[in-house]
Amino acid sequence: MLGQFNFEKFPVLKTERLILRQLTLDDVDAVYAIRSDYEVTRLNIGAAYIILDQARILIESILDNYQRGNELRWGITLKDGDDTVIGMCGYNYWARRDFRGSVGYDLARAYWGQGIMTEATRAVIKFGFDKMALNRIEADASVENVASIRILEKLGFHQEGIEREQYFEGGEFHDLMLFSLLRRDYELTIRK
């Protein structure tokens, strides 16, 4: 049945190579390693972390927002690994009234280019349509973020437009590309 998810039990997701699980405060070092790399944050959240406490604050806020039923973000680990979080993927918000959520992700640089985030995001999208009863999943990416745009295209997202000079980073304004995947797109193409 659709829309049953109620934030009671954290939904662990498994894919061919990955386990997506809840973040805990034991993941502070791993999250710091990801977010202190400017190559990871540059096209995404801006300034790289410079102190460990920023990772702790992020995890605490993710856990708190989960408790409030506002945000659902998974820590990505490798099935064949040691449970270290190598990235994060999830819904930054869930506008229940409109059956709409927004996905975002980031991955430690050492794991780029192996299809990991496409695999993780595919599972997160399936969860969104199947368990959260979403009708529309939104995403955005810097026009320079070729890898992120490619992930969204591979997953069937439609480009909706460009917000010109939407954010300021590295002394310059940058354009942001908007994407969406509707339930009907998903049912027609991806799920088949």
Ligand X SMILES: CC(C)(COP(=O)(O)OP(=O)(O)OC[C@H]1O[C@@H](n2cnc3c(N)ncnc32)[C@H](O)[C@@H]1OP(=O)(O)O)[C@@H](O)C(=O)NCCC(=O)NCCS
Residue 75-94 contact track with ligand X, rule CB under 6 A, x = bound:
--------------------
Three-state DSSP state, 143: coil
Any contact of residue 166 with ligand X (CB under 6 A)?
no
Any contact of residue 115 with ligand X (CB under 6 A)?
yes
Question: Is 74 or 105 the residue whose CB approaches ligand X more closely?
Answer: 105
Overall size of the chain counted in residues: 192
Tell me, what amino acid is at 69? G
Taking the complex as a whole, the smallest distance from the CB of residue 44 to ligand X amounts, in Å, to: 4
Taking the complex as a whole, the smallest distance from the CB of residue 3 to ligand X amounts, in Å, to: 27
Rounded distance between C-alpha atoms, residue 52 and residue 135, angstroms = 37
Tell me, what amino acid is at 14? K
Any contact of residue 137 with ligand X (CB under 6 A)?
no
Choose which of 67, 114, 159, 189 interacts with ligand X (CB under 6 A): 114
Applying CB under 6 A, the site for ligand X has a residue count of 20
Rounded distance between C-alpha atoms, residue 59 and residue 91, angstroms = 14
Residue 116-135 contact track with ligand X, rule CB under 6 A, x = bound:
xxx-----------------
Any contact of residue 106 with ligand X (CB under 6 A)?
yes
H or E segment and range at residue 109 = none
Any contact of residue 25 with ligand X (CB under 6 A)?
no
Tokens standing for residue 97: 């009234």
- Check if the beta carbon of residue 42 is closer than 8 Å to that of residue 69: no
**Stretch touching ligand X by CB under 6 A, among 15-23, 75-83, 104-112, 163-171:** 104-112
Among 90, 142, 82, 87, smallest CA distance to 111 is for 87
Any contact of residue 191 with ligand X (CB under 6 A)?
no
Three-state DSSP state, 190: helix
Rounded distance between C-alpha atoms, residue 72 and residue 154, angstroms = 22
Query: Which residues are at the interface with ligand X (CB under 6 A)?
Result: 40, 43-44, 105-107, 112-118, 141, 145-148, 150-151
